[in-house]
């Protein structure tokens, strides 16, 4: 049986129980990327947001392997979940906006508080962004848009594509890391739908887990799409 712990939203004492309103977590795992040691807590009752998915690890490993430079770059992450990718990119020097649906933001904020030094917090924002609904609350001058394991439910594909299309300008680089699972149309989303609007390049593939990392840029002549799903 897994015991849920309610953690103090400060410091790195993951075993400290709290008896008032604070995020509750089922576990905390450690990860090493680019010389940084990350402690990522995963929350109670957050569904798919409460895990560090292999696609997230794959995207962090890709950034590590390719030594992608985020210093001084403006970055937005979609579907941050636990926040592992956005936290790493902040540590690598990016000015990062981590986004997800409102329920997940406390978990992200907790992980930010335990992993990002105070001196770097000004480079990080955590904001609600439900695809197809909230993207117009954000600017459109990002250097990078990131997403790991956000392509898994076909009902969200039209709104996800609208959000990506709205947020990206011609100079934006998009990295999406996706695990292909049977029956959710994720392969055709990447290979048929996205190429209508974006130049898509496979830059990494983990055959054993069926995870692919795509690098994308917006096609300048791509058709306009409406702002709402
Ligand atoms: C499978 S989890 C991946 C989490 C994290 N990126 C990772 O790789 O570990 C998918 C994330 O996308 C978010 N998500 C799903 N549908 C969404 C939507 N319509 N708008 C915004 N976020 C959404 C979920 O809340 C969840 O945190």
Tens of each residue's pLDDT in the chain, 229 residues? 344 555 544 444 444 444 345 568 878 999 999 999 999 999 878 889 989 999 999 999 999 999 999 999 999 999 999 999 999 999 999 999 999 999 999 999 999 999 999 999 999 999 999 999 999 999 999 999 999 999 999 999 999 999 999 999 999 999 999 999 989 999 999 999 999 999 999 999 998 999 999 999 999 877 677 644 4
Whose CA is closest to atom 11 on ligand 1?
79
Residues 6 or more apart whose Cβ sits within 8 Å of residue 209 = 54, 58, 179
Domain of residue 194 covers 50-218
Is 167 domain-assigned?
Answer: yes
Distance 72 CA to ligand 1 centre (A): 26
Could you tell me if the CB of 77 is within 6 A of ligand 1?
no
* pLDDT score for 226: 60
Contact criterion met (CB below 8 Å) for 82 and 148: no
* pLDDT score for 25: 82
Is 87 domain-assigned?
Answer: yes
- Ligand 1 atom nearest the C-alpha of 51 is 9
* pLDDT score for 228: 44
Count structural domains, the chain.
Answer: 1
Candidate of 59, 62, 100 to mutate for ligand 1, largest count of ligand atoms within 8 Å of Cβ: 100
Is 111 domain-assigned?
Answer: yes
* pLDDT score for 206: 95
Is 24 domain-assigned?
Answer: no
Could you tell me if the CB of 179 is within 6 A of ligand 1?
no
């Amino acid at each position: 049986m897994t015991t849920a712990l309610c953690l103090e939203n400060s410091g790195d004492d993951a075993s400290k129980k709290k008896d008032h309103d604070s995020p509750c977590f089922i576990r905390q795992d450690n990860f090493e990327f680019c010389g940084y040691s990350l402690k990522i807590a995963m929350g109670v009752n957050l569904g798919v947001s409460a895990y560090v998915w292999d696609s997230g690890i794959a995207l962090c490993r890709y950034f590590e392997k390719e030594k992608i430079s985020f210093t001084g770059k403006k970055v937005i992450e979609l579907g941050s979940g636990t926040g592992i990718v956005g936290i790493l990119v902040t540590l690598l020097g990016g000015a990062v906006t981590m986004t997800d649906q409102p329920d997940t933001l406390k978990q992200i904020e907790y992980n930010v508080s335990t992993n990002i030094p105070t001196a770097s917090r000004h480079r990080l924002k955590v904001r609600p962004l439900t695809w197809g609904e909230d993207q117009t609350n954000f600017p459109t001058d990002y250097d990078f848009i990131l997403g790991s394991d956000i392509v898994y439910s076909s009902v969200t594909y039209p709104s996800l594509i609208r959000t990506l299309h709205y947020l990206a300008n011609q100079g934006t680089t998009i990295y999406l890391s996706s695990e292909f699972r049977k029956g959710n149309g994720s392969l055709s989303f990447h290979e048929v739908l996205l190429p209508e609007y974006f130049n898509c390049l496979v830059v990494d593939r983990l055959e054993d887990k069926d995870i692919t990392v795509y690098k994308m840029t917006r096609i300048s002549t791509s058709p306009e799409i409406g702002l709402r799903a």
